[in-house]
Amino acid sequence: MNSDHHHKYTSNDAHLGATTARDAETLSAGSTARNESTTRILDGHNALEKDFSRQDAYGNGYGMHSHLDASHDSESALRQMRTAGSISISPELFEKLYLSPQNKVAGDLRKTFGNPTPLALIGFLLSLHPLSMDLMGWRGAGGSGAASTGWYYFAGGMLMVLGGLGEWILGNTFPFVVFTSFGAFWLGFAATLQPIYNSYGAYADPSVPGSTGLESVGFSVGLAYFLIMMGLLCFIYLICSIRTNLIFFLIFFCLVPAFGLLAGSYLQLANGQAALAGRLAEAAGAFCFVTCLFGWYIFFAIMLASVDFPLDLPLVDLSGIIKGAAEKRKVDHVE
């Protein structure tokens, strides 16, 4: 790499402020549109530069670096985006919109489609938040949240799967897997509560009058195993979320013990320890409740950014704590 090319990556310190977030969605699309894009964390700044300089049909380059910051209005930012060869955009701003590290995506998908992230988040929150209060037994609630079964289907299940598919279309692998897997969880949980699926009815003891199977050891242990697997899945997501932002990380940080405690509740129920099972379920509900507080915060932050609201809620970018493998290879190559 010659010295002039190296200087191009170290001399520019422009970044797009979160106050121009509506244009940032467009800019994030353009900044990832070329397969030949190259990225580098700018020295001394928390900004990510995408360079897709190229020549036109007449061999004239129009790939000058565009200096965009919070002082630019929407119109001038868009005009510069259309002609710029390279654009700097804050990694935190991208992850605020998509909950995913920036990646290369062909085409203009992020300019064509809306942001699916808040759709999946609201489906998650409308399901988990009532369930958390049910698990804590507020005002006599209980029954494993069966009163919200419809929401588990049409909010937790349907909205999260739709949001996950939207992330897949945009090329955001991590939120795609997270949202669709949780959508499947809510659909499965709702089905478990429905007698038509016979998930607990299969354990009913015909020799015991009034037996439904819910009281059986087999059902409680089997459900606990599934919850343990969800805890393991959330632990993997927790590790991966270190490359996103603090709020997303804290969501999984709370979900891991929540699933563990809920699994323990069913295991103790199978042991005949109903009182202990109730306390574990209450603790699981408390962790779920805190999870939802973080969830509402990140949902609010994304919605504010989507309408270019002047109020900016920080999510605390973590992507610089552990450098990506591609970035480390690129730095080593440059040096």
59: left (phi over 0), alpha (psi -120 to 50) or beta: left
Q: How far apart are CA 221 and CA 179, in angstroms?
A: 26
In a domain, residue 188? The reply is yes
Given a cut of 70, is residue 27 above it in pLDDT?
no
Measured distance CA(234)–CA(334) in Å, rounded: 36
Within 170-216, residue ranges assigned H as helices are 173-193
Q: pLDDT digit string (tens) for 35-75?
A: 333 333 333 343 333 333 344 444 444 444 454 444 545 45
pLDDT at 23: 41
- Is residue 50 a part of any domain in this protein? no
Has residue 193 been placed in a domain? yes
Number of structural domains (the chain) is: 1
Q: Is the pTM of this model over 0.75?
A: no
Q: What is the pLDDT of residues 189-199, one digit of tens each?
A: 999 999 999 99
- The amino acid sitting at 329 is R
Residue 237 forms part of a structural domain: yes
Q: Is residue 141 part of a domain?
A: yes
Report yes or no on 61 lying in a domain.
no
What are the residues whose beta carbons fall under 8 Å from the beta carbon of 139, sequence distance 6 or more? none
Q: Which domain holds residue 175?
A: 115-198+212-320
User: For residues 160 and 186, is the Cβ–Cβ distance under 8 A?
Assistant: yes
Is 29 inside any structural domain? no
E strands, 36-185, in order? 38-41, 48-51, 65-66, 86-89
Q: Are strands 86-89 and 65-66 parallel, antiparallel or unpaired?
A: parallel
158, part of any domain = yes
Per-chain mean pLDDT for the chain:
76
